[in-house]
Amino acid sequence: MKILENVSLKEYNTFGIDKKAHFFIQAKEIQDIREAITWSRTQKLPLFVLGGGSNVLFTHDLEAVVLKVNIQGISISRESGEHVWLKAGAGVVWQDLVDHAIKKGWSGIENLSWIPGTVGASPMQNIGAYGVEIREVFDHLTAVNRETLQTETFDNEACCFGYRESIFKNHLKDKYIISYVVLKLNKQHHFNTSYGDVQKTLEELGYAPDIQSISEAVIRIRQKKLPDPKAIGNAGSFFKNPTLSQETFDRLKRRFPDIPGYTTANGVKIPAAWLIDQAGWKGKRFGQAGVHHRQPLVLVNFGAAEGKDILDLSKMIQEDISQKFGIHLEREVNVI
Ligand SMILES: Cc1cc2nc3c(=O)[nH]c(=O)nc-3n(C[C@H](O)[C@H](O)[C@H](O)COP(=O)(O)OP(=O)(O)OC[C@H]3O[C@@H](n4cnc5c(N)ncnc54)[C@H](O)[C@@H]3O)c2cc1C
């Protein structure tokens, strides 16, 4: 286990924020995770777990041991006539797993194409896009208990998945380090093309829906809509889409007849992007931080922003939306 000191995290977060880790360790196997936990204890320093850094905003140097989980490997852990249980190391790049599944002809995660980050972080916030969430194909994960150093298994129910939520962001926050994830993918396909522009894009491309074409359509839409973190620092959607009671939504609809809303099991979901756009934030720039000109849900670093600049901007937006619409926008990005 190699321990590096005073490491810049600029290359390790998609916002491109230049903060330092006091110590930096890469874990290539479970034993490295255990050793890093033990070592951080001897240093009396907190341990911060990092995947691809695409859902974090660093606001200060980390007086901590930063552990980048880099466990690799994709393998079949079980197979039946209808399903395949695909196991991947936490450090596998999410898109590599998607590509693997597509190549093999297994469906279930094609709508989640082009989401940055690692497999290990994917259950953390129950990643979702284009009408699909990982919980729909999630079978179980293994994780190291940071207290006992034992490996434990969490099945789908134990993860308590919700919209951009899991138990690891709530009751078990900072208690486990995910090492492997197993997804139950389908050999018999049921496609979901009903969300957003997927169907329309397939038609434009002249493709019939299959795993490959859906993935291509999703990537095409995402590349059109979302800024590439390599070109301009960002962490995707900064806020979650708020869910309101039907009554609150009806009241807002009387004031703002154009407000879109989608009925879900928990209430009416409003696109946060619409609220931010209506409030006039789209394309606004404050020094090195700003709101993206095409996708107002995405806050961007024009190059030299500090994490605090982005955080301050997010707070201004939250306050404004609260005043204008009476809605609290919850952050999706993990502010560190
Ligand atoms: C351009 C862009 C588009 C995006 N689009 C989407 C989208 O469509 N849908 C969506 O859901 N998300 C989206 N995201 C957010 C992000 O890609 C996902 O949340 C992704 O799963 C984060 O993975 P990561 O490896 O980068 O995690 P990181 O940012 O490194 O970490 C995120 C959190 O998980 C913890 N963590 C990471 N790895 C582990 C582990 N092995 N064990 C325990 N804890 C861990 C970290 O401590 C941190 O709290 C987007 C981001 C970008 C930049």
Q: What is the DSSP string of 152-191?
A: EEEETGGGT-BTTB-GGGTTTTTTEEEEEEEEEEESS---
Predicted confidence at residue 195, as pLDDT, reads 86
Statement: 233-335 belongs to CATH 3.90.180.10:
no
Q: Which amino acid is at 283?
A: G
- Rounded Cα–Cα distance for residues 244 and 248 (Å): 6
pLDDT in the model for residue 101? 97
**Which atom of ligand 1 is nearest to 48's Cα?**
47
Domains 3-69 and 74-186 share a fold: no
Residues 85/75, Cβ–Cβ less than 8 Å: no
Domain parsing of the chain, residue ranges: 3-69, 74-186, 233-335
The ranges of the chain with pLDDT < 70 are none
Q: What is the pLDDT of residue 265?
A: 87
Ligand 1 centroid, distance to 333 Cα (angstroms): 8
Question: Among 3.30.365.10, 3.30.43.10, 3.40.50.300, 3.40.50.970, what is the CATH number of 3-69?
Answer: 3.30.43.10
Active-site residues: which are they? 164, 237, 332
Q: Tell me what pLDDT residue 190 has.
A: 85
- Note the pLDDT of residue 248: 94
Write down the residue that tokens 């990643």 correspond to: 127
- SS3 (DSSP) at 332: coil
CA angle centred on 62, ends 336 and 37, rounded to 5°? 100
Supply φ then ψ for residue 105, to 5 degrees.
85, 30
The class level of CATH for 74-186 reads alpha beta
Q: What distance in Å separates the CA atoms of residue 213 and residue 64, rounded to the nearest whole number?
A: 44
- pLDDT at position 1 is 83
Is 25 touching ligand 1 by the criterion CB < 6 Å? no
